[in-house]
Amino acid sequence: MQKNLTLAALALLALTGAQAADWSDTSLGYRYGTQFDEPFNGKAISKNIFSLNHVSGYKYGSNFFNADLLMSDSTDPAGKASTNGAQEVYVVYRHTLDLEKVTGSGFKFGPVRGVGLTAGFDYNTKADAGYNSKKRMLVAGPTFMMDVPGFLNVSVLGLWESNAPFNTFSGASTPRYSYDPHAMVGLAWGIPFKVASLPLSFEGFANIIAAKGKNEFGDKTAAETNLDMQVMYDMSSAMNASKNTFKVGLEYQFWKNKFGNDATNNKGAFAKTPMIRGEYHF
């Protein structure tokens, strides 16, 4: 099943990649915070995060791609007895097929201006002292595009997730393990607004994820909430650049039961992290 879904996702990616974009926005970003947490760590971790983000639209829908390089300080060590911080790469891809554009029929009702079908994947790899995650996840489900200034998309997705971690301390390698298929309600938004003529935007995402059965060690997983939001200031005019070229702002992440780990007796599974953020769009 997982192999078939992977092949389907790759086929979809190849198909959509061949379509000419009607519009696109690509950006390089940086964010920094000192209050990150990791499960089974429980100490405040500082991280530098560099990102590459791309969103584009074509005749029948849209594409979203984001790759983060997360670099921890030594509180989240890279390995057993290492004084270097862990490094992680996390990649997200989503493709949304707009049903109105495909069929020529409207899908507007109430506060919904359109409906799409979304599919994609998450991929991560992390070198750290304990878990060394190698997450692979496929997602699929409907997306409701709300009628608001900017955008607000609400997706109801099925998730098919697996991992194959390696424990540095015990030297034990876990064969790839598939969790139970589970559901997620995901929101993504970008709402422009002004305060005293300052061009601002409220941006972010929220993922409410159901428990995914037992993990690879036989422990029950917990439902997960990941809320990441930022207020961004478009400082492009001060840089003599086009609108939305340079943006800076403040970001806050609320992540309870991180990666499905129950935060009741696991302090590191509950992160509340303020950050600074900057972006260059081209």
Sketch the domain layout of the chain as residue ranges. 2-281
Mean pLDDT of 164-172: 78
Mean pLDDT of 223-230: 98
Mean pLDDT across the chain, nearest whole number? 93
Mean pLDDT of 32-60: 96
Mean pLDDT of 19-44: 94
Q: What is the pLDDT of residues 76-133, one digit of tens each?
A: 999 888 899 999 999 999 999 999 999 999 999 999 999 999 999 999 999 998 899 9
- Check pLDDT > 50 for residue 140: yes
Domain 2-281 fold is Outer membrane phospholipase (ompla); Chain C (2.40.230)
User: 172 with 196: CB under 8 angstroms?
Assistant: no
For residue 248, what pLDDT is reported?
98
For residue 172, what pLDDT is reported?
75
For residue 48, what pLDDT is reported?
98
213 against 11, higher pLDDT: 213
For residue 19, what pLDDT is reported?
63
- Check pLDDT > 80 for residue 11: no
- Check pLDDT > 90 for residue 158: yes
For residue 13, what pLDDT is reported?
52
- Check pLDDT > 50 for residue 7: no
Q: Alpha-carbon distance 9 to 119, whole Å?
A: 7
User: 34 with 46: CB under 8 angstroms?
Assistant: yes
Q: What is the pLDDT of residues 96-109, one digit of tens each?
A: 999 999 999 999 99
Tell me, rounded to whole angstroms, the distance of Cα 131 from its chain centroid: 20
**Cα→Cα distances 95→21, 90, 104, Å:** 13, 17, 19
Q: What is the pLDDT of residues 172-225, one digit of tens each?
A: 788 999 999 999 999 999 999 999 999 999 999 999 999 999 999 899 999 999
- Check pLDDT > 90 for residue 55: yes
For residue 80, what pLDDT is reported?
81
